[in-house]
A and B are shown apart, each in its own frame.
Chain A
């Protein structure tokens, strides 16, 4: 999602732990993204069914790495799936790929 003010891609990181969200946003900001704060808790299906935001690529980050969960995420509309714990460098690379 391009932010016209800064020309930096804008990232909304949704996380249930505030401190983790702040840390990831800090890392993303350092890597050239505009990561303003913690997003709301929304489902991927909710995003994908809303015409205004359905084109925003969604990357799923989860502690779950089971065989069933990953296809479920992709079926819901996620463009990528990263299992926690993750490398922040990997996250930024995958975000760039999703935005390309």
Chain B
């Protein structure tokens, strides 16, 4: 056979395979679309049929067991998806009634069975809804599941325990989290912030004995969000010790947030630190604390080599006093045009827009 005919045959084969592949891909997308539409229709039908019953129940008609008895087990997933929105929107008596639909009925057993599943997806589903309904009866199982090797399962259980405000589980969460390298401090912080402020006492105790600098910074960050002032005398030596950059930054932020005047001397020292990120945080904290006599020092930081420090210092000067604001305006329109004057103009225009 001539060579060109053989190569044409190869090309045709490739085109044929590609066409079959494209056809199968279109078919696959089409099937997925149909399945999705069926699922949506089922959900809409379900909502149409049962939503009113839930509303009537909220209007003091019926008890949770008799309401849930009307739902087939196959519809629990849809029911829970709807309840999720309600539970996140309402509080008080409405919330309590809605949570009883989960806690006092067969749905609780259903969620426990999900939590006992070997499949991660089911486990996460169970943990999420038990947490949302604050099903404290499930706390021991959830605590046990913190030992799971999957980070999403761990986080789901930790969030649920935090939503239940189970502060006894705090140490378990902090002990177990260190095995996950991919969990960021911000992620774990969002877990801790699901607790209410009563967790601060436990966090404070833990801070005192904690060896990990990463966890120490996390705890200080959480205490800052809760504005927990009793920890200040313990955090001040941590700041001065400068064991890690994270710890210094979190400690400075903490003192700024709680406006701790006793930290002003230490903060003053960090205004001349070699690291720009630390300097910038020290400026913000100094302004919040209202540490006197720092105006000149902060003004000089507008001329720092780092742009972030310049901007933070200019922003601080804008809010410091009328005098400092006028000085900033003079700089903004001074000649010749410099980086400092453009930073001053930027801050003034930003603040003016914000005020309007």
Chain A interface residues (CB < 8 Å from chain B): 17, 19-20, 22-24, 26-27, 30, 84-89
Question: Which B residues are CB-close (under 8 A) to A86?
Answer: 89-91
B86 to A, closest residue via Cβ: A23
A30 to B, closest residue via Cβ: B59
Question: Which B residues are CB-close (under 8 A) to A17?
Answer: 85
Q: Are A85 and B95 in contact (CB under 8 A)?
A: yes
Whether A85 contacts B88 in the complex (CB less than 8 A), given A19-B47, A19-B82, comes out as: yes
Instruction: Name B's interface SS.
Output: helix
Question: Which A residues are CB-close (under 8 A) to B82?
Answer: 19
Question: Which B residues are CB-close (under 8 A) to A87?
Answer: 90-94
Q: Are B94 and A26 in contact (CB under 8 A)?
A: no
Q: Are A85 and B51 in contact (CB under 8 A)?
A: no
Q: Are A85 and B55 in contact (CB under 8 A)?
A: no
Confirm or deny: B58 has a beta carbon within 8 angstroms of a beta carbon on chain A.
yes
Question: Which B residues are CB-close (under 8 A) to A85?
Answer: 88-91, 95
Question: Which B residues are CB-close (under 8 A) to A19?
Answer: 47, 51, 82, 85-86
Q: Are B92 and A84 in contact (CB under 8 A)?
A: no
Question: Which A residues are CB-close (under 8 A) to B58?
Answer: 23, 26-27
A-B contact pairs, 5 of them (CB 8 A): A22-B51, A23-B86, A86-B91, A87-B94, A88-B90
B92 to nearest A CB, angstroms?
4
Question: Which A residues are CB-close (under 8 A) to B92?
Answer: 87-89
A61 to B, closest residue via Cβ: B89
Question: Which B residues are CB-close (under 8 A) to A22?
Answer: 51, 55
A88 to B, closest residue via Cβ: B94
A91 to B, closest residue via Cβ: B90
